[in-house]
Amino acid sequence: MNASATDNARQPSIPYTTEITSQRAELSEIDQSIRSASLFFTVSAVIWLLLGTVFALIAAIKMHNPEFLAGFEAATFGRVRSAHLNAVALGWSNNVIYGLCLWIMARLCRSPIRHGGLLIIAGVFWNLGVSLGIFGILRGDLTSVEWLEVPVYATPLLAISYILIGVWGIIAFRFRRGDHVYVSQWYFLAGLFWFPWIYVVAVLMILWAPAQGVVQSVVNWWFGHNALGLWYTPMALGAAYYLIPKVLGRPIYSYYLSVLGFWSLALFYNWAGIHHIIGGPVPVWLVSAGIVASVMMVVPVVVVGINHHLSIVGLHKEGWRSPTIRFVVFGAINYTLVSLIGSAMSLRDVNLITHFTHFTVGHAHHGVYAFFTMIMFGGIYYMMPRMLHREWPSAKLIQIHFWASGIGILIMVIALQVGGWYQGLAMNNAEIPFLEIVQNTLPWLKARSVSGVLITIGHFAFAINFFWMLFAAGAVRAKSGPTLLVSTSGKEAAG
């Protein structure tokens, strides 16, 4: 998304030197090696995103209109809500990570993916596993464990096919060239190990050979929180660390901050999940350790925030024009916000109010959507032109996607967190009847449904653009030059 390339993209600003040509040829070779697999994962991800959005909308509406779709057993709140969670977590998020992060990993390792066909086969099995899981949830076979609702019979398929996919990133790292290991590679490599570890331990200790008593809930939240912190977070941060300097053409501000940010995340995050069971029948030292670790998460968050900010500062104008940077910066800012709010929520006095309210639901969407998903959107906007050798057909649709998703998620987070805060205050007051409290959450829940509609519009704009590009008509093929959101002359550059 080079600024000077807008006038005539056929005369790139970078002169053709032999070093650069050779380097770009190498990149082209790597892109080619993972192209089919990445496309497969990304297309799967987009389909799951749309499905998950529909589930989410049904669940959101049912929160204030319980009679909505009341005749369908599969659409009862408990099932459709879990179907939403698993469709966006295992379907959208994992697939987009496989598609985007394995590609970035291969590029940074300067190592073409070998036998990409096998990767696609593993991906097919992953998506079969997710489909089986969602189908099982809608049938009513779901477990009662949050974040692990997928029925037991689908879990071995998920675990095995994940390992077959993740190993590709590790192989790429094993055959890397060059001396320097870039910060994104640390995050990806660590995430590729962390996710199978936490997933297998969690299904083993909760579903396959259940541990006794409260240990289950400890493992449950250790997993639930680590799925976000040791899987989605490192993958999104790694992608942001790649995309920001790549688009802006400026190095990351400080290697030392990168090191500190990575290792403090690795050190503190895996303790933090226990803050979900503050007040529960769990030894209090365990909970306190979780609280301290949650607050110590301020360290990696502030460090990454500063590192990203100082890498972008001064180039805001250029960033605003690039779809990638616009989404990534939105995600990066929200990473800082959501994490600081999360640290505050883990304090006992705050948790007393926010626990068991919509505040937590708002927080979860703040993290997974406003941070993780927005960065992944940015990544797709960067990756697809290189995969398909085409440009995004419509800047207008990208605009709609950004604004609908961005405003939508902000409305959702604000509605659920403000409403949830009042809900929590009221629930701590024994004078107020419970039904009155439920009544008072209705306006906030309706606002959440409105935000859901906005986000759905954004997703459909994105999907239309995506499939338009994928099954490109001649007009799209002929289009040249990057699709930017604001041209230098103030008009839309693309259309």
Residues 229-258 that bind another protein (CB under 8 A): 241-242, 244-249, 251-258
Residue 330's SS3 state is helix
Q: Is residue 39 within the footprint of another protein (CB under 8 A)?
A: no
Angle at 118 between CA 383 and CA 208, to 5 degrees: 100
Considering only 120, 302, 450, 453, the residue that binds another protein (CB under 8 A) is 302
Is residue 23 involved in binding another protein (CB under 8 A)? Answer: yes
List of residues 6+ apart from 141 with CB closer than 8 A: 151, 153
Binding-site member from 47, 306, 352, 464 for another protein (CB under 8 A) = 306
| Site membership for another protein, residue 315 (CB under 8 A) | no
Among 120, 159, 282, 411, binds another protein (CB under 8 A): 282
Helix axes 233-248, 255-272, angle to 10 degrees: 160
Is 182 or 223 the residue whose CB approaches another protein more closely?
A: 182
Residue of 107, 276, 321, 366 that binds another protein (CB under 8 A): 107
The smaller minimum CB distance to another protein, of residues 19 and 431, is found at 19
Phi, psi of 146 (to 5 degrees): -65, 140
Q: Does 179 bind another protein (CB under 8 A)?
A: yes
CA separation for the pair 482, 494 (Å, rounded): 8
Number of residues that bind another protein (CB under 8 A): 75
Query: What binding mask, one character per residue, do residues 339-378 give for another protein by CB under 8 A, x or -?
Result: ---------x------------------------------
Q: Looking up tokens 């960065």, which residue turns up?
A: 375
Of 81, 390, 401, 448, the one binding another protein (CB under 8 A) is 390
Question: Which CB atom, from 21 or from 439, has the smaller least distance to another protein?
Answer: 21
Min dist CB 253 to another protein, Å, is 5
Kindly state the smallest distance separating residue 262's Cβ from another protein, in Å: 12
Considering the complex, what minimum distance in angstroms separates the CB of residue 455 from another protein? 29
Out of 386, 460, 467, 492, point to the residue binding another protein (CB under 8 A): 386
Q: Which stretch binds another protein (CB under 8 A): 9-17, 116-124, 159-167, 421-429?
A: 9-17
**How far, in Å, are 45, 76, 164, 442 from residue 358 at the CA level?**
27, 19, 37, 11
Q: What is the 3-state secondary structure (H, E, C) of 144-196?
A: CCCCCCCCHHHHHHHHHHHHHHHHHHHHHHHCCCCCCCCHHHHHHHHHHHHHH
What x-and-dash track marks residues 138-167 binding another protein by CB under 8 A? ------------------------------
With beta carbons less than 8 A apart as the criterion, state whether 109 and 176 touch.
yes
* Contact by Cβ (8 Å): 171, 110: no
The only residue of 20, 215, 313, 438 in contact with another protein, by rule CB under 8 A: 20
Residue whose CB is less far from another protein, 132 or 257 = 257
CA 106 vs. chain centroid, Å, equals 20
| Closest CB to another protein among residues 196, 280 | 280
Does 271 sit near another protein (CB under 8 A)? no
Stretch that binds another protein, among 193-201, 277-285, 397-405, 454-462 (CB under 8 A): 277-285
Q: Which is nearer to another protein, 134 or 469 (CB)?
A: 469
- The type of residue at 74 is A
Q: Which tokens is 430 given?
A: 């024994």
The single-letter DSSP state of residue 87 is I
Query: DSSP letters of 45-68?
Result: HHHHHHHHHHHHHHHHHHHH-TTT
SS3 428: coil
